Chain A
């Protein structure tokens, strides 16, 4: 019982410890650097990686790494400076988010409504599959379940010698058959009775 109480107190105080209500008004809101200062090719590579996670605010769906705009260049320079100072990826992203909002993250974090972004399409796919499955089940299974017009017995398949009731049309079709198929008199060789 006391263990549960202690655990709940610890859990309740977690957000208070991890997210101070007011960011310190220092030059960097991210606090003390949590990572190791980078330099050389590693710094270049990490700058590109972190820049690829940031949305260029003046572009249409481009990351800071991909955009040639001066704003993206400035942001990339800031990412580089922060990495060189030892700030880690999450600190840098959080700092930009502080100014631009979550919009600036190209990969939305898994919280709140964002679950929908990550899993919504998958849920929609499963729901759609379930809907189709239930529809198929309700109408039975196999070819017997096909609606009446589609079963071969019900369809009035005309014989190839069939002619329309209109005598003028029938005459025209006979001539076409004679020309196209070489049937004398437009009568099919085996279906003379039906003509």
Chain B
């Protein structure tokens, strides 16, 4: 019974991890850059939603679109100013640009918001739905649903719109795409902005049952990367599956291992996948 409850909890959390990881994988797929700062955008999304709640009285689920837009715009600016310049630079520049971004964003948040832990209070925060002996927390369910919704919207964009096709083309074969008239710089910018915006939205929807502080990003870093790598970096569907898998593994680990070791299994899986099958379990483009 505890097993099934853990499975439920894991899937619910996994849905959100999926959304967060999709952002990461999108950036890599289209730009070929691993954004080490991706988790900081989750933090920014959480802060944006918190600010919306604190100053405008907006429920975080309503604040999520705002968080998305705000971080999307930030992503555009960051791409124009910084990322664009290292697209052809050696790996050291690309890696350490995003690492520098990680440090910069975290400490900027520290300066702006202070280091206090902030949480929201919503009426449904402690509500739960009882399905027989199992408990499904309302905030967790809501976050899962929102994540599903946003995932669906992304799928529709990638599969059904010309811009989406253009982005996928850039990911698959940049040279050919450019020859076909796709502006790869614009696609990069769109992918980056979309990617960080999605991660931010993911952060916003979990705010009701999380607390936000400048270093909260660190909690998501390895989870996100594991999910994305499991599904194959660059593979959006893979990131979704990876996210769900990570959620379930984490939840099941908590049953048998002490809480601090919850993520240990994931890290080991992560290294194993990188070592044995870097293209991910779902085998994507190399």
**A and B interact physically:** no
